[in-house]
Amino acid sequence: MAIVTFVVSLAFFLMDVKYAFLLGLITGLFNIIPCSRILTALILSAAITFATAAVTSEVLLAIIPRVIAHLIDSNVLLSVIVGSKVRTNAFMTVPGVVIGEMIGSVPGMFLSIAVIAVLKNILDLWKACNLGHYTWR
């Protein structure tokens, strides 16, 4: 949440959008909500930007960093942070989250990390019990 708030606030500040920190904070706070986080933050921030902007093109400029930050947060940061807590490799977690998102949307993303962790534990147990070594006789 803090990373998303910082990145979006910085992007809005560099784009000279009014209330940059407030809009970044709204995005960071709505990042906690699992299913509608990006949509709710987009609608609320676009309405605030539309009400305070002199040009309506600033509304589109306010949407772009938020979508980019959401994509990076959902696909990269979530994989790395949660993967480190579950002790899985980020190289396996990132594609797993992307595949889980393609199969089951947001719930698929969260479940994909659990599935990867279970498979990792099964394979580690398999290796520890030496079940992976089989010779033909």
Q: What is the pLDDT of residue 42?
A: 78
How many domains would you assign to the chain? 1
**Residue 119 structural domain:** 33-130
Q: Is residue 118 part of a domain?
A: yes
Q: Is residue 8 part of a domain?
A: no
Q: Is residue 135 part of a domain?
A: no
User: pLDDT digits over 51-70, tens only?
Assistant: 777 677 777 777 888 788 87
Q: Is residue 99 part of a domain?
A: yes
Rounded to the nearest 5°, which phi and psi values hold at 32? Answer: -75, -35
Contact assessment for residue 90 and residue 98, using Cβ atoms and an 8 Å cutoff: no
Q: Is residue 28 part of a domain?
A: no
Top pLDDT among 66 and 10 is at: 10
Q: Is residue 69 part of a domain?
A: yes
User: pLDDT digits over 74-83, tens only?
Assistant: 777 776 776 6
Q: Is residue 17 part of a domain?
A: no
